[in-house]
A and B are shown apart, each in its own frame.
Chain A
Amino acid sequence: MSDSAATLDSVAVHAPARQRAASRSGGLSTTPYALVMPALTLMLLMLLGPLAAVIALSFTDYQLGAPSLSWIGLANYHEMLADKVFWTSLRNTLVYVGIVVPGAVCAGLAIALLIQSGRSLRSLYRTVYFLPVMATLIAMAVVWEFMLHPQFGLVNGLLREIGIAGPSWLQDRATALYALCAIGIWQAAGFNMVLFLAGLVSIPKQLYEAAEIDGASSAWSRFRLVTWPLLRPVTTFVVVISGIRSFQVFDTVHVLTKGGPSKSSEVLIHTMYTEGFEFFRSGYGAALTVVFLVFILLLTLIKSRLADRGVQYA
């Protein structure tokens, strides 16, 4: 395909320029199709096809290695809705998102505002707060596990110094999910900080000067009147991005708790992984994926809604 197109092109070189221009704008040339063909093929094969397949699979009883599959309608969904594990998993995911999103967004905003409020050491601070984003999460999860070790860990060691007996964070069903949330916030805050910093830099300086002339002398009133309204599009954007990313939580859960103890930290993608890749119940795993997709889609819709409104403001 690409070979023939290449020969066509080398012929075209000798043709008059006018003809070449015509073939370029007339949509007759095969060159554009040759250029997009590898991308289009792979897109259909690895992205759009599988997306359609996951929805179709969710209506079947397919299991990896099974000789055949049959259409079972909504049976997977019925099973899911009747399964306590699914509801626990969904609730835990929502709790995780509900804690990590506000936590990581507020932390990111606070750090960005603090860094931007002065001149000195800006890039040093930015680097330090960005480190957790760069570091391989699995490796850092293992470090956190040791920090949270009930006996020899740093966290309980520090608590002991002030006379508190800390729990066995990751082995206690009352704390496991929240410990994972803390790791999630620690990792995401620096990422949000970078997005907020970009938003802060784009606020025109004159607006602050104008606000000051109009009597907004305190830092708080300048924040309330200028920074916050102008940062709102960025903020909604960061909230949705954080939401989508925390819905995908898997790494820390899989390596630290496997969803335990007694499902107290089971989350959606981990349930999908267990069903789809440990029990090889592809059909049921696909149904769980569809639920996950619905949530991601909802967040994306909110984002595009708000993005449209943001454009009107600007």
Chain B
Amino acid sequence: MMVQRKISLWAVIRHILLVAGALVMLLPFVWMISTASKPPSEVFSSELHLIPRHFALWDNLQTAFAKANLWRFLLNGVIVTVSIFALQVLVALPAAYALAKLRFIGRNALFALVLFGILIPPQATAIPVFLLLHKLGVLDSYAALVLPFTISVFGIFLMRQFFRNVPDDLVDAARMDGISEFGIVWRVMLPAAIPAVTAFGIFSVVAHWNDYFWPLIVLNSEHLRTPPLAVAHFRNAEAGTNYGPLMAAAMVIIAPLLVAFLLAQRRFVEGIALTGIK
């Protein structure tokens, strides 16, 4: 009886604490939606109110889409993140297969290089990679956004670990069937590794959809801007005068990932937690 009450008291305290914390976490999101729904007269009022008196979300969204080519920027985000992920898989999977299942001279050295590569933060190589792209004359293009990330040593590492657990019998059986080593990568290993590829895909897409540093460095043209760059420019252009449309634009930019996250939470949490291993 006593224990029962103690437990339920703790349950109440637990919920109070967690709800309080959750409110802090959600506050920026709530305030963003609230501000995006207010007309300017209510945004610029010192008196706090969460629910707008005149619901202006539609107007603000229209203004945001009129002032900035948000569709184009979202499309850029999709093009860039999908290209990066597709090329990462194309490059990493064969290498991961060779490292996991084939024996060749230099394999251990190569794997050591992969492990070393994981430690290099992206900011460290920014200046030389920028100079290289400048030399190649591809700055300010999709190529400049995609090319430096086509190699994911972390992806190679992750897939190699996964491939090691794929039974050798499966590989041998494929060889008996006359499938080439290249064929094995795509027709045997890839299907077996779908969970790992999905987790890596989420990790990769989230990282590059949200990336600000690299697009900022290599882009000049407005029509190539990725979503984070678009928000930053929108903010600079409006310079504190037009918060409703700015918040509406921020909503539009974060919406695709948040919706995907809410639909497949477990997978997303797994995918992002991978960064921890990195």
Chain A residues engaging chain B, CB cutoff 8 angstroms: 2, 5-6, 9-10, 12-13, 17, 20, 24-25, 27, 29, 31-36, 38-40, 42-43, 45-51, 53-54, 57, 64, 111, 114-115, 117-118, 120-121, 123, 125-140, 142-147, 149, 151-152, 154, 157-158, 160-161, 186, 189-191, 194-195, 198, 219, 237-238, 241, 244, 248, 250-251, 254-255, 269, 272-273, 276-277, 282, 285-286, 289, 292-293, 296-297, 300
Contact = CB atoms under 8 A, between A and B. Distances in A.
Given A32-B98, A35-B95, A276 B126 contact: yes
24 contacts: A9-B180, A9-B181, A10-B180, A32-B102, A35-B97, A39-B151, A43-B113, A132-B28, A134-B258, A134-B272, A138-B228, A139-B249, A142-B250, A143-B28, A143-B31, A146-B31, A152-B45, A154-B27, A154-B48, A157-B46, A277-B130, A282-B131, A286-B128, A293-B121
Interface size class on chain B is 35 or more
Contacts of A189: 25
A146 B17 contact: no
Contact of B125 (A6, A27, A40, A47): A47
A69 to B, nearest CB: 11
Q: Which of B46, B127, B273 is the most central at the interface, judged by chain A CB atoms within 10 Å of its CB?
A: B127
Interface stretch (B8-16, B56-64, B193-201): B8-16
B91 A134 contact: no
Nearest to A219: B10
Given A137-B212, A191-B272, A289 B127 contact: yes
Interface of B: 10-11, 14-15, 17-18, 21-22, 24-29, 31-32, 35, 43-48, 90-92, 94-95, 97-99, 102-105, 107, 110, 113-114, 116-117, 119-121, 123-132, 134, 147-148, 150-151, 153, 156, 175-176, 178, 180-182, 185, 206, 209-210, 212-213, 216-217, 227-229, 231-232, 235, 240, 243, 246-247, 249-250, 253-254, 257-258, 261-262, 265, 268-269, 272-273, 275-276
